[in-house]
Amino acid sequence: MAVRRLNHAVLYVRDVAEAVGFYRDTLGFELRTEIPGRAAFLRAPGSANDHDLGLFETPGGVAPSGRYLGLYHLAWEVGTLAELAEIRSRLEARGSLVGASDHRVSKSLYAKDPSGIEFEVMWRVPADQWERETSSGPMIGPLDLAAELSRWGDDLVTGAAAGSVT
């Protein structure tokens, strides 16, 4: 897997509003999307990402999945949809793939390693298409990788490898 960079981190937090305040006021993160009392997505100053940090509230300190506060997952970014499709095949062959989502600005696979630690492998839609992509439909839906390959092609390189600011 040719990882271009770590794209974002997602954390389970006790209080999402408090965490947003901390990352915004202390580190200068910009609030991009918020689901009050449940989740927030923030972008670091100068970042070319849709979001660099996801926060999910876990009332009582335990997430619905039984996980405790802390890291939920890391997202590794690949450069092309062909690479994402290859990774999907490898994850399926190992029985590690646990999900796939279309986040409009990214196409994501979710998997677990042998210890049960979840991670994401994703491809980023070209940044100049984000506004158009987010203007219709729900922000999260099922991923149809074959349709995305047909739409974007298998060799369109995006993200850090394409010379974007990271």
Residue environment code for 22-53, b if the CB has 16+ CB neighbours within 10 A, otherwise e: ebeeeeebeeeeeeeeeebbbbbeebebbbbb
Query: Domains of the chain, with CATH numbers?
Result: 3-162 (3.10.180.10)
What is the rounded distance in angstroms from the CA atom of residue 3 to the CA atom of residue 134?
25
pLDDT of the chain along its 166 residues, tens only?
Answer: 777 788 899 988 888 898 899 889 887 889 999 999 899 999 988 888 899 999 988 877 666 666 677 787 888 888 899 999 998 998 998 888 999 999 999 999 998 876 576 888 899 999 899 999 988 778 889 999 999 999 998 888 886 544 433 3
Alpha carbon of residue 139 to chain centroid: 12
Going 152 to 141 to 107 to 98, the CA torsion angle's sign is: negative
What is the rounded distance in angstroms from the CA atom of residue 36 to the CA atom of residue 141?
20
Residue whose tokens read 């974002």: 8
The one-character DSSP state at 125 is: P
For residue 53, which of 16, 89, 107 has the smallest C-alpha distance? 16
What is the rounded distance in angstroms from the CA atom of residue 153 to the CA atom of residue 150?
6
What is the rounded distance in angstroms from the CA atom of residue 85 to the CA atom of residue 154?
9
> What is the pTM (predicted TM-score) of this model?
0.67
What is the rounded distance in angstroms from the CA atom of residue 55 to the CA atom of residue 13?
6
